[in-house]
Structure 1
Amino acid sequence: MQKLPLTLLLATVATTSAQAEGWYGSAKLNSARQNLSSALLTSPRVNERVDAPDNTKTFTPAFAVGYAFMEGWRLEGEYTMPSSSTFKSYWAPFNANVNSLDTHSQRLMLNGYKDIPLNDWLSFYGMAGVGLARIDSDGYQTNETRRFAGNRRHNFAYSVGLGLDAKVSEKVTLGVGYRYVSMGDVETGYNTFANRITARDEQLKGKLKEQNLFLEARVAF
């Protein structure tokens, strides 16, 4: 009979620990895999993509400040530092001409989390975020002298993810997680080189997406 009150006490301590209120700072190291989907070379003289663009992998840091509420809810503002990717593709009937699209992206997000305690030091969470992605794009065709003009876009971005946190002290929490991020459309400016009809009517386009595996350190203020 004495075991029941002790079990309830431990459960209360675990819940209270996981739901502590207050401000915190966070740093993440993202292993980011970016993908260019729906890739297009806008030109009236091509008919199909021969080879899809490659995925690229980078390591990118992110920093956040947030507030932990009761009941396991958290809200934070997060900035992900610039990340660069290059995507190459080939288009029929000019299969020998590589089209190289370079992107440089960064984003500012508002993220919401729901923590679910598993015991007094370990918790699972789900998250979702919305924000703004700034993407600079340029590139070239065949060689670096045949360039597409640069272009900058500010796009709506969203993310969803999940993770696992371990509370190592009253102030410090370490975690691992995964998230999917959509950053919207990207496009270069038009070709600055003379194509075979001497027209400025070609550009590279696509949709930029990212998958993150990350490590996180969070410190309560």
Structure 2
Amino acid sequence: KLFCFEQTALTDNGRVFGERNHWKRMIGYLSVKDKLQGSLTYDTWAVTLINYLLSTLSDEKRTEERRLLEGLRFDKLLTQLEDRVRRQSLASNEDSSLAPGGNESTNLMKQIEVYRHLADEDHRQGNIEEANLDATNPKDLFNRVHDQALKDGFINELTKILTNLVTLPPEAYVLFKQNIKHYYSFPISIYIYTYTHIYVIDFCGIDQ
């Protein structure tokens, strides 16, 4: 119930600012993103809240939310936060727990560790599910492509591709064949999604 309340608040806030991903606003205020106003205190509480909310979910729902976070490169941001804490510790020439703001630094590092530990468990569970992927089931295959696109940060590109495929009229295929037959150059973009990249390949009409 708590997550539903928080998710509704996050979703409503994101909708006001035109964001599809309800985590984007929260993550946008991390100190490594908002260099003018970001603070270590906010970083600590934000990661703590994310951990708490995720821990209240079922495995399936938590995986969905984690994919949204991965789409925002959240793990990369956590690495940047870790680097920031270490730099501050070195600059103070003493252990981060004794440095100014040391308690917050220590708590932040602990929360990052908690997030990654749970992420590793989810990842192992995901590997088990992936091993059971039915390659003959179009829905399973589409879900696999969707999830990987979200993880790699290509969800917007995938959405555009699918929109083009859905809205492409049948006449377009006929026109393509006619142009090939009459030696006209008619470029067509074919989008191929692999595990980590989306390639755009242009084909032109050729003499046949």
TM category, shorter = under 0.3
Higher relative helix content: 2
Return the TM-score normalized by structure 1: 0.20
Return the TM-score normalized by structure 2: 0.21
Q: Structure with the greater relative contact order (CA < 8 A, sep ≥ 6): 1 or 2? A: 1
